[in-house]
Amino acid sequence: MFKKLINMFSGNNNEKLISCINNNAFLVDVRTPAEFVENHVKGSINIPLNEVGNQLQKFRNHNSIVVFCRSGNRSEQAKAILEQHGFTNVINGGTWQNVKTLKNESEK
């Protein structure tokens, strides 16, 4: 089933993403609070893109960090911000739906 999921999504980091999710990655939704409230990944936290640079302490001491949003654009920006501040363990999970699907599948 995982192979089908991997092939369904165009994000080329899904194998690494699945591994990180299975190992309790820090899941961060960088959409707005309104988008997050509407629907989100269970176990994720909301740190909107415009707050990432001011919330760096929340990202510390995690083995892996997965950032995601509606389309993958804001999460790519969040990944770049984190990398500029020395974080090397960040993955752009793409869309929140992609992360949710992979997380749900890994919990089965």
| Residues acting as catalytic residues | 69
Q: Residue 102: what residue type?
A: L
Distance CA 66, CA 20 (A): 8
Alpha helices in 2-72 (DSSP H): 2-8, 14-22, 33-38
DSSP-assigned letter for residue 103? H
